Amino acid sequence: MPDKLCTIHVKTDGIAVLLVAGSTGTTAGELLLSLQSRLATLANDDQIKGVLLTGTPRGFCWCQPAQNSTIHEAARLSSLGQQVMFALEKLGKPCITVIEQSCTDLGFELALASDFIVAAHEASFGFPAIASGLIPFCGGSQRLSRLVGKAKTKELMFTGDTIDGEEAYRIGLVNRLYPTGEALPRAEELLLHICTRSPSAIRIGGEVVNAGYDIDLATACLLERDAFALCFSRFDQREGMQAFLDKRPPQFTGE
Amino acid sequence: MPYKKLRIEIANRVGYVLLDSGARFNKLSITTIRELKRAFTQLDADDSIGAVVLSGYPGESFAVGADIGQMVNFSSPEALHFAELGQSLFDRIESCSKPVIGALNGITMGGGCDLAMSCDFRIARDTLQIAHPGARLGIITGFCGTRKLPRIVGKNFAREIFMSSDAYGAEEALRMGLVDRVCPSEEFWPKVVATAEQIAQHPLSALSATKRLINAAEDTDLRTGCLLEREAATYLNSPFR
């Protein structure tokens, strides 16, 4: 049965907007299952070139805190959450998160698993659930510390305080910062621009960046060498370089 | 054997590797890469210098990627071989016992960006235009950039840079941490020279150990890194060795 926790709106230009509103009555598990099925749709639909992940004016990723669960339930929830975040990382298409409101706890974890975040000044980010004794469970502690460093991550997690868009921009959590109402259109502009680039290079590049980040330099460079060589057996490489030499825009197919 | 694509100058204990292809852009052709490897081997062995500066100064570009005309018809095995050649240069620069300062005098694109990232740190002129335009050409970089850029600027900026393929200016590069310092055009070269000369005054044994330890820190867990540091410090800091 289709649910309204998260919905996909595909535009004519191939951009899909994934609205993850959630609701105050839903559990984190229900929201994650809904997300899981939406991500599968986004990955498998060839008409979709790129994804904007965002909330509604009512909120982003609203759900009940994951309290009062048994040990087994908590482990299962964490396992589901981590699978969903990895599925987002492996989407194979560019995905920008746009935050113009509160982005906390589960929402913050989701944003951290996308390619990067664009925000408005009144955005806020944090893990306030520490006040109830809860910590991130979808990989958020690991992704945040890799992104902004250990000290900043500990400060955010220990205090449970939220930071605004400007502070998030200053510490490198947010790539681009815009006035209210401008973040979504500007992010869409940027995503459309990215979609004129080679889909195959973006997919392979994303995979190599993710795989290479956690291993030693020498092994990562071997992996990259092979992926680089692979590009030269694909249509996009011939087309991209020929277009550059002909001084015309390339017509990539992703093949 | 003389160099065709670069010049080497030595002054006040600093060795300068100055890319000078004779054209507007210093392309990382096979010849240029081989000459750079040779230049770093030469300077590494030269006891009279304590630091190296790599730059395209006073030209318009630092370095750009490979010759697209040459690359467009590469087969996969040729591409693999080319990646290996490039990676062997960056390995040469990183294993050079002397600090290497990247002095980014202008346009720095693709393989040129990877070349800049193999330096120990980067000083940029305010006219810098830096990009990694692989996705515009239908490829990813094969010169270690997919590993190094995310470690230098974080995964999120790295993905934006790779996916957009756009050129970023000096201030943006500084904010992301891609360059460590930006200087106005007229102050750029004096600042590069002053920084390199200051570093070159310090004992080479300490500089080399520092470079090796910091490179190792990226690939080892904290305890192993601390062991390495203890060994190096025990040797270096002992007055009677």
Q: pLDDT for B54-107, tens place per residue?
A: 999 999 999 998 889 999 999 999 999 999 999 999 999 999 999 999 999 999
Give the best residue of A146, A221, A248 to mutate against chain B (max B CB count within 10 A): A221
| CATH number reported for the structural domain that contains residue B31 in this entry | 3.90.226.10
CATH topology of domain A199-246: Lyase 2-enoyl-coa Hydratase; Chain  A, domain 2 (1.10.12)
Question: For residue B57, is it within any domain?
Answer: yes
> Is the pLDDT confidence value at A1 over 90?
no
pTM above 0.90, yes or no: yes
- Chain A closest-CA separation from residue B33 CA (Å): 16
Contact residues on chain A for B156, CB-CB shorter than 8 A: 115-117, 147, 172, 175
Paired strand residues for B175: none
ipTM attached to this prediction = 0.92
Q: How many CB atoms lie within 10 A of CB B54?
A: 28
Q: Is A70 helix (H, G, I), strand (E, B) or coil?
A: coil
The answer to whether the CB of B69 falls within 8 A of the CB of B121 is no
Element (H, E) at A64: strand A62-64
- All structural domains of chain A with their residue ranges: 6-194, 199-246
Contact residues on chain A for B219, CB-CB shorter than 8 A: 216-217
pLDDT of residue B218: 87
Rg (CA), chain B: 18
Q: By residue range, what is the domain housing residue B213? A: 203-236
> Do B216 and B101 share a structural domain?
no
> Do B153 and B216 share a structural domain?
no
> Do B209 and B193 share a structural domain?
no
Give the count of domains, chain B.
2
> Do B52 and B31 share a structural domain?
yes
- Chain A closest-CA separation from residue B230 CA (Å): 22
Q: Which residue of A has its CA nearest to B66?
A: A241
Q: Which of B153, B102, B146 is nearest to B124 (CA)?
A: B102
> Do B119 and B214 share a structural domain?
no
Question: How do residues A179-227 score in pLDDT, each as one tens digit?
Answer: 999 999 999 999 999 999 999 999 999 999 999 998 999 999 999 999 9
> Do B214 and B168 share a structural domain?
no
pLDDT of residue B47: 94
> Do B208 and B194 share a structural domain?
no
- Please confirm whether the linkage preceding B58 is cis (ω < 30° from 0): yes
> Do B207 and B195 share a structural domain?
no
Q: Which of A170, A175, A215, A233 is nearest to B163 (CA)?
A: A175
Q: What does the alpha-carbon distance between residue B239 and residue B241 come to, in Å, rounded to a whole number?
A: 6
> Do B156 and B80 share a structural domain?
yes
> Do B78 and B17 share a structural domain?
yes
Size of interface A-B (CB pairs under 8 A): 160
B136, A115: Cβ pair inside 8 Å? no
Q: Is A97 helix (H, G, I), strand (E, B) or coil?
A: strand
A221, B87: Cβ pair inside 8 Å? yes
CATH topology of domain A6-194: 2-enoyl-CoA Hydratase; Chain A, domain 1 (3.90.226)
> Do B228 and B192 share a structural domain?
no
- Across residues B219-230, what is the average pLDDT? 92
Q: Which residue of B has its CA nearest to A212?
A: B147
Contact residues on chain A for B77, CB-CB shorter than 8 A: 229
